[in-house]
Amino acid sequence: MSTAAALSLPDLCRQAREAIGTRNLVFVGLMGAGKSVIGRMTASALQIPFIDSDAEIERVSRMTIAELFETYGETEFRSLEARVIRRLLKTGPRVLSTGGGAFVNGESRTLIKERALSVWLEADLEVLWERVSKRDNRPLLKTPDPRGTLQTLMTARYPIYAEADITVRSRAVRKETIVEETLAAIAGRGCQ
């Protein structure tokens, strides 16, 4: 058992907060991994602001992500996403959840690596599919075989997500468990 895992929750939060310092904490991973929910809960535990990059993109563009994809295509969306992430990473600390393709974009990935501590919420296909199949708002899954598309995205993106500083397994457990595991992983980096 690591030192971080043996700490009480308040001590874990304190150590994780100290490990982050003035940096941002950025959650990356595929759609359905829990980046927004776990990110928001982690920010609350750390008592620092939370921002969802997709929500910020929608706010500045006055369009939904689906509308942006439909109107301008993925390339233009990724360019806008990179600009928003660049702006959001200028100050910290805060917790930022990103869209599934943000860390795959070389420009955004470089920014995140330079200015933040990244956490990949890794999940298997069954967990992701269970979560994303409940809603029809995922532009990349508007295909004849959305589950197959999700598998293809996993195959292509997981090696890139693996470049994140920390990996936490997202699975069908209480959200608080994932948050505590995230905090322990962050605190553990500070104990090294």
- The whole-number pLDDT of residue 173 equals 95
Q: Report the relative pairing of strands 116-122 and 50-52 from DSSP bridges.
A: unpaired
CATH code: domain 4-187 is: 3.40.50.300
Which residues partner with 24 through β-bridges?
Answer: 116
DSSP, collapsed to helix, strand or coil, labels residue 166 as: strand
**Helix 65-88 crosses helix 106-115 at what angle (to 10 degrees)?**
40
Q: What are the structure tokens assigned to 130, written together?
A: 């269970």
pLDDT at 192 over 60: no
Best CA proximity match to 27, nearest among 79, 98, 89, 124? 98
Q: For the chain, what are the domain ranges?
A: 4-187
pLDDT in tens, 95-134: 999 999 999 999 899 999 999 999 999 999 999 989 888 7
- CA dihedral over 99, 103, 104, 110, signed as positive or negative: positive
Q: What are the structure tokens assigned to 41, written together?
A: 């809960």
Q: What are the structure tokens assigned to 135, written together?
A: 């809603």
Peptide bond into 93 cis (omega under 30): yes
Distance of alpha carbon 51 from alpha carbon 37, whole angstroms: 11
Confidence band of 2 (pLDDT split at 50, 70, 90): very low
DSSP, collapsed to helix, strand or coil, labels residue 176 as: helix
Average pLDDT over residues 68-94: 91
Confidence band of 57 (pLDDT split at 50, 70, 90): very high
Q: pTM of the full predicted structure?
A: 0.91
Average pLDDT over residues 29-39: 95
DSSP, collapsed to helix, strand or coil, labels residue 134 as: coil
Which residues partner with 168 through β-bridges?
Answer: 121
Give Cβ neighbours of residue 131 (< 8 Å, ≥ 6 apart). 32, 34
Average pLDDT over residues 58-78: 89
